[in-house]
Amino acid sequence: MVFWEGYISDELMGTFAPIVVYWLYAGVYQLLPSLDQYRLHTRKEEEQKNLVPLPSVIKGVLLQQLVQATVAGLMFLATAKPTSTGSITQPPLLVQLIQIVVAMFLMDTWQYFIHRYMHQNKFLYRHIHSQHHRLVVPYAIGALYNHPLEGLLLDTFGGAISFLISGMTARTSVFFFCFAVIKTVDDHCGLWLPGNIFHVLFQNNTAYHDIHHQLQGTKYNYSQPFFSIWDRLLGTYMPFSLVNRQEGGFEARILKKTT
């Protein structure tokens, strides 16, 4: 039993809930007070280094989410299994949890190799992926600010593949996609807040991804959004330390380049 049962379908929820969650969670970060003592970059750095204004970022994210919702709707339509009762029997909770973990690894694998290739192919980086790196200093609302083609290939297709191969139901996908969205937003929030559960559970976190947005780290730390396995296995992991900045806040400082 879920709170939306009897009101809207699992497929509709799976299509639009991640979008709503994105704006709610990113909006909370955007509305927080300055919190300069927890920032990974100063506000001055954000203003000077970022190459795109907030209104353009919002438009870019909305465009990606329009494509995302369209693909999700078609995917759910194609995979729907009509039943005589109108409802699908959900697998046991343990099975659903296993499916979510499998989907996490599948999404990480897809995004690592597509993401890495977009950096290594000069044409793709210059004309597509560089749009995301216009946010040299990441912030929450810009987590899904990408070129539309990248949004389709990297995020939308990655989510669809994870859903289809893991075998999860539309209802399970609601929780998986919302979780993936929250994790992605958190990785781009630019804050190292005390007690953040993602920083405790995942080595791939806000500071980890901040390294990737730095000039020296742009060809490292490709893994997203959950684990750092592929970076470590394939030599693209960039070790770093989190240090206190003299003017307040923190800095994710590169230690050395991997080979």
- For the chain, give every domain's residue range: 10-79+90-188
CA 165, CA 184: separation in Å to the nearest integer?
21
Do 258 and 236 contact (CB within 8 A), yes or no? yes
Q: How far, rounded to the nearest angstrom, does the alpha carbon of residue 237 sit from its chain's CA centroid?
A: 18
pLDDT at 258: 47
Please state, in angstroms and rounded to a whole number, the distance separating the CA atoms of residues 203 and 22: 22
* Contact present, 135 and 187 (Cβ < 8 Å): no
pTM value is: 0.94
pLDDT score of 84: 58
User: What are the tokens at 113?
Assistant: 């190799």
Cα–Cα dist 194/214, whole Å: 23
pLDDT digits (tens, 9 = 90+) for 141-151: 999 999 999 99
Q: Which residue has the tokens 């790196």?
A: 133
Cβ–Cβ < 8 Å for 238, 254: yes
Q: Which of 160, 156, 159, 165 is nearest to 99 (CA)?
A: 165
Q: How far is CA 147 from CA 118, 124, 154, 155, 243, in A?
A: 12, 11, 10, 11, 33
The reported pLDDT for the residue numbered 69 is 97
- Give which of 184, 219, 234, 220 is closest to 205, Cα–Cα: 184
> How far, in Å, CA of 149 to CA of 166, rounded?
24
Which pLDDT score is estimated for 85?
61
Which contacts qualify for 116-119: CB closer than 8 Å, 24 or more apart?
Answer: 116/222, 116/236, 118/150, 118/154, 119/218, 119/219, 119/222
Phi, psi of 122 (to 5 degrees): -60, -35
- pLDDT tens track for 26-73: 999 999 998 999 999 999 999 999 999 999 999 999 999 999 999 999
**Which token pair is 223?**
């893994």
Report the pLDDT value the prediction gives residue 34, as an integer from 0 to 100: 86
pLDDT tens series, the chain, 259 aa = 899 998 999 999 999 999 999 999 999 999 999 899 999 999 999 999 999 999 999 999 999 999 999 999 999 999 987 765 667 889 999 999 999 999 999 999 999 999 999 999 999 999 999 999 999 999 999 999 999 999 999 999 999 999 999 999 999 999 999 999 999 999 999 999 999 999 999 999 999 999 999 999 999 999 999 999 999 999 999 999 999 998 899 999 999 754 4
